[in-house]
Amino acid sequence: MERPAWAPPGIDLSMPSVSRIYDFYLGGSHNFEVDREAARRAMEFLPGLPKVMQANRAFMRRAVRHALSEGVTQFLDIGSGIPTFGNVHEVAQGADPSARVVYVDHDPVAVAHSQAVLAGNELATVVAADLRTPKDILTAPELTGLLDLDRPVALLLVAVLHFIEDADDPQAAVATLRDALAPGSLLIVTHAAYDGIPTDQETAGGAVDVYRQIKNPLIMRTRDEVARFFDGYEMVEPGLVKMAEWRPETPVAQEDPYAFSGFAGVGRTA
């Protein structure tokens, strides 16, 4: 297969990547046929997956604007993926040019593309690191050079926790990050769940199996399990809800049924 100019050397073009599949769902161009094939297999079970991803992004943008309205102008987006239109730095810096954004991803394509997109933007950067090793993120020179951890930070864990298995203790990683951030910091989360998907669990399980087959298991958690990630945070109204229900800007009744899949919430530390 011919390697496109944007693909960093050394990556395996034969293995699908979660961030490139996500890019495909959102209509992006930074994906390979192997990613599109996996996405189409998952969509055989859940044809509304692109709608889920769009609802996810729409929630993220509303949450970023909420953070800015609360005076939080520093953003740490872990599992940020390939930056597509309307990403965190565009939303945040569009409203407040002084906003600072650090993206974190372990996918080399996502990191390389982020570096290209952010070239010349002195208030946004990217770190190659993994949520499973939060201390590596917190000590990365790109982060320490841009964010002041003595001031509140909005931590975004959007569509990433469901790719971390319980054996890797995502709870501990989230707690480590929480403890490193100043009081008044925000936690912004979306998480996949069978709850709300407009089909039966067996059918949805077919899509989950596709992710297992590409060695990126999708961990569907219950509402109570997702709520535990907010330990130590006070939930911001309306609490932990379906993505489309978190401070909607248009009538919820007009939303696609798939926009109610999984959970979204924002918490704030005292």
How does pLDDT run along the chain (270 residues), one tens digit per residue? Answer: 567 777 777 777 888 999 999 999 999 988 999 999 999 999 999 999 999 999 999 999 999 999 999 999 999 999 999 987 789 999 999 999 999 999 999 998 899 889 989 999 999 999 999 999 999 999 999 999 999 999 999 999 999 999 999 999 999 999 999 999 999 999 999 999 999 999 999 999 999 999 999 999 999 999 999 999 999 999 999 999 999 999 999 999 999 999 999 999 999 998
How far is 155 from 33, CA to CA, in rounded Å? 32
For the chain, give every domain's residue range. 51-197+221-268
How distant, in Å, are the alpha carbons of 66, 91, 98, 251 from that of 95? 11, 6, 9, 24
Given this model, what pLDDT does residue 2 score?
Answer: 67
Classify residue 79 as left (phi > 0), alpha (psi -120 to 50) or beta.
Answer: left
Q: For residue 174, what pLDDT is reported?
A: 98
Could you tell me which CATH class the domain 51-197+221-268 is placed in?
A: alpha beta
Tokens of 62: 């509303």
Distance CA 128, CA 142 (A): 10
